[in-house]
Chain A
């Protein structure tokens, strides 16, 4: 049975336009101009119990709007949503007991209090008896490795530590689904990796269904079995991670700074993007050649500095469009 069912969902925003300068301001007082922005256009999808689903797309694609409709924050204009069989608009309170939310850009914690006090507060919000809250905090403290700072005021914590606390706070009431909106935004790569593995561990431990949005390909690659890509308010791809990897994520970008020049012109599975003497940028087709192999070609002794990255999301999306045509 699907735990989240979305059918033909649409949402528009009315945006007030303002022309520049003094004249524009005067004009906008008397004759305000509006523009309808179609944030989400007629999308449908299902999520099964226990899944980790990533909802990805560039900024402004409609990810946040969708997740906010699923969590009762925004009223949809058209279409229907069922989360755990409930309508987020009519059964907001009932649903709130069953779901957890973490919005990377909006903090829910009191910054002058310690994580521990914050968790107690969330316990009260979800009407959990004191003893049960204590037990849950103890359990999550171990899982999320909070021991070092559970009694330090939140404002003194690093961004990564804060996000961990935000996630724990949203798990105090044992939600069946966890919604994460850009959980790794603004974090450095090491911390990102740490958050991802914690999310994965939590999914295993509690069988929590996880629905996350991101514009970071890394997030989904490490976490998800299934990916929904959204662009301009429409779903462009709803597929398993394996397929996505096979068709679109099969390329890695390798940038290297070399001691000596090297010629890779005729190598199979390698496309040279930029070759400026000692600075080399190549694309490796991983279906034909592994990244490790490519590095061997460069000769590790010859490398001063190296950076391996994914193809930007925008390129993947334009690739998807190309394949559809």
Chain B
């Protein structure tokens, strides 16, 4: 565990240097948020109106959280890196190292995005506050719980993207899988809460990764209840477990394949 913490720390240090990237990244985040704020403002003719159970302010805070989760994730970078590792054969150098590739990649990427995540979170809160005037009614402990679910959500996202990228072991170009996943998250998990979809669909979505990587934390933030917090955290832990095992399986199968081919 200690070595992973060290990897995270080193990554954070080296990334502090790229403050410009974070700043410009935030501008991108702000623009997207701004567009969606305008969209919801246009849709809600009366701010007190409820659409699918959400008030305008709830919808906007929902988007603030899901966009932080999505934009700070750096999924494209992770996808490109792992696909390149596989294609270049770098991944096999890691076989002899005293840590697992999955653990190593997870900690490097977490370290890579942690600073960005914190900055986005703070600036996102500020942006929401400026646009909406007030926070949803949450006490400090509840905020901490939301932050924990956001952290767990990020771990799941990273593991899922890793699994999708490791498919590069078996096909030439695995990036389209990532595109489709990212678009699914964007449409089904970022812009709209699950309640916006037809009822049958909602049941499926409740068991899909969308529930744990974006809907869960955002829903908690705009409409907190201890019961749903517990459900979400348990679901997240199960997901981390499953996603990790899937990554390991794909990785082991892939490495074996490379060895067989003498790659």
- A residues sitting closer than 8 Å to B (CB atoms) are 22, 25-26, 29
| SS class, residues of chain B in contact with chain A | helix
CB contact list, B1-55 vs A, under 8 A: 13, 16-17, 19-20
| Given A22-B16, A25-B17, A29-B19, 6 extra CB contacts under 8 A | A22-B13, A22-B17, A25-B16, A25-B19, A26-B19, A29-B20
Question: Across the two chains, which residue of chain B brings its CB closest to A22?
Answer: B16
A25 contacts across to B, CB distance below 8 A: 16-17, 19
A22 to B14, CA, bound (A): 8
A29 to B23, CA, bound (A): 12
A29 contacts across to B, CB distance below 8 A: 19-20
B16 contacts across to A, CB distance below 8 A: 22, 25
- B residues sitting closer than 8 Å to A (CB atoms) are 13, 16-17, 19-20
Question: Across the two chains, which residue of chain A brings its CB closest to B19?
Answer: A29
A25 to B20, CA, bound (A): 11
How far in angstroms is the closest Cβ of chain B from A76?
32
A22 contacts across to B, CB distance below 8 A: 13, 16-17
Question: Across the two chains, which residue of chain A brings its CB closest to B17?
Answer: A25
A22 to B115, CA, bound (A): 14
**List of 9 A-B pairs having minimum Cβ-Cβ separation, nearest first:** A25-B17, A22-B16, A29-B19, A22-B17, A22-B13, A25-B16, A29-B20, A25-B19, A26-B19
Question: Across the two chains, which residue of chain A brings its CB closest to B14?
Answer: A22
A29 to B16, CA, bound (A): 12
How far in angstroms is the closest Cβ of chain B from A235?
40
Interface CB pairs A-B, < 8 A, 9: A22-B13, A22-B16, A22-B17, A25-B16, A25-B17, A25-B19, A26-B19, A29-B19, A29-B20
How far in angstroms is the closest Cβ of chain A from B172?
15
A52 to B209, CA, bound (A): 69
Question: Across the two chains, which residue of chain B brings its CB closest to A24?
Answer: B17
Question: Across the two chains, which residue of chain B brings its CB closest to A26?
Answer: B19
How far in angstroms is the closest Cβ of chain A from B38?
32
A313 to B188, CA, bound (A): 66
Interface centre among B13, B17, B20 (most CB of A within 10 A): B17
A29 to B13, CA, bound (A): 16
A241 to B261, CA, bound (A): 55
B17 contacts across to A, CB distance below 8 A: 22, 25
A29 to B21, CA, bound (A): 12
B20 contacts across to A, CB distance below 8 A: 29
A25 to B115, CA, bound (A): 16
How far in angstroms is the closest Cβ of chain A from B99?
26
A230 to B19, CA, bound (A): 41
A22 to B19, CA, bound (A): 10
How far in angstroms is the closest Cβ of chain A from B18?
8
A22 to B20, CA, bound (A): 13
How far in angstroms is the closest Cβ of chain A from B126?
21
A29 to B17, CA, bound (A): 10
A26 contacts across to B, CB distance below 8 A: 19
A26 to B16, CA, bound (A): 9
A29 to B24, CA, bound (A): 14
A25 to B16, CA, bound (A): 9
How far in angstroms is the closest Cβ of chain A from B250?
30
B19 contacts across to A, CB distance below 8 A: 25-26, 29
How far in angstroms is the closest Cβ of chain B from A23?
10
How far in angstroms is the closest Cβ of chain B from A98?
42
How far in angstroms is the closest Cβ of chain A from B21?
12
How far in angstroms is the closest Cβ of chain A from B19?
7
Question: Across the two chains, which residue of chain B brings its CB closest to A25?
Answer: B17
How far in angstroms is the closest Cβ of chain B from A175?
38
How far in angstroms is the closest Cβ of chain B from A11?
29
How far in angstroms is the closest Cβ of chain B from A213?
33
A124 to B20, CA, bound (A): 42
How far in angstroms is the closest Cβ of chain A from B11?
13
A50 to B176, CA, bound (A): 56
Question: Across the two chains, which residue of chain A brings its CB closest to B23?
Answer: A29
A22 to B12, CA, bound (A): 11
B13 contacts across to A, CB distance below 8 A: 22
How far in angstroms is the closest Cβ of chain A from B62?
34
How far in angstroms is the closest Cβ of chain A from B185?
33
Question: Across the two chains, which residue of chain B brings its CB closest to A18?
Answer: B17
A26 to B23, CA, bound (A): 13
How far in angstroms is the closest Cβ of chain B from A42?
38
A26 to B20, CA, bound (A): 10
A22 to B17, CA, bound (A): 6
Question: Across the two chains, which residue of chain B brings its CB closest to A28?
Answer: B17
A22 to B16, CA, bound (A): 7
A25 to B13, CA, bound (A): 11
A26 to B17, CA, bound (A): 7
How far in angstroms is the closest Cβ of chain A from B123?
18
A29 to B22, CA, bound (A): 13
A72 to B20, CA, bound (A): 33
How far in angstroms is the closest Cβ of chain A from B22?
12
A25 to B15, CA, bound (A): 11
Question: Across the two chains, which residue of chain A brings its CB closest to B18?
Answer: A25
How far in angstroms is the closest Cβ of chain B from A40?
32
A55 to B87, CA, bound (A): 42
A158 to B125, CA, bound (A): 57
How far in angstroms is the closest Cβ of chain A from B114?
15
A29 to B19, CA, bound (A): 9
